A = this chain, B = another copy of it.
């Protein structure tokens, strides 16, 4: 579904190079802090190429960046994300996220920081990025739904609300990771999110004890 129609292999490669480089720049300096000239310089291209591959201008480029980052982050959560219906899967998911973001030079969610910047300046683009966020969040909710149906969560547990909370921990953890320049906030936030999930397990059936939460 990516806009790669009518592109030769060379063209597609150039387009990919532009998106990848621009993604790094935006991650480091934000959308507003990254000019098209910066992208041009960083990719050894010319202004016309930017508008050739992204006729919609900066907005379209930002959208492509969001799509790329979304692919990356979803990839990093495989195979746990699709099967978040056991406690073990959630543990694996947690570790995969910490490992992925811990391996990067910059922190801050490439998607989350985007929305807070686009809302109010580019609502159309923001809406599309929010769609990505919802897709991600949907995986969490679906897993929790299956856990509830399978008796791993109490019948009155609300998968939608629990997923919202867990996802908020991810986003907040990454925001603080960016602020404090450390992976620790994400790690702590995820541990707490899992502890909150365990608290929604049936009494006397609490799964594995989330001991990681309380002792650093």
Question: CA A210 – CA B189 in complex, angstroms?
Answer: 18
Contact string, A154-168, partner B, CB cutoff 8 A, digits 1/0?
A: 101110111011111
Contact string, A181-206, partner B, CB cutoff 8 A, digits 1/0?
A: 00011101101110110111000000
Contact string, A107-147, partner B, CB cutoff 8 A, digits 1/0?
A: 01000110111011100001000100100000000000000
**Chain A interface helix/strand/loop/mixed:** helix
Question: CA A29 – CA B123 in complex, angstroms?
Answer: 10
Q: Write the nearest CB–CB distance from A133 to chain B, whole angstroms.
A: 6
Question: CA A199 – CA B193 in complex, angstroms?
Answer: 11
Name which of A9-17, A72-80, A90-98, A169-177 contacts chain B. Answer: A169-177
Contact of A195 among B156, B170, B199 (CB under 8 A): B199
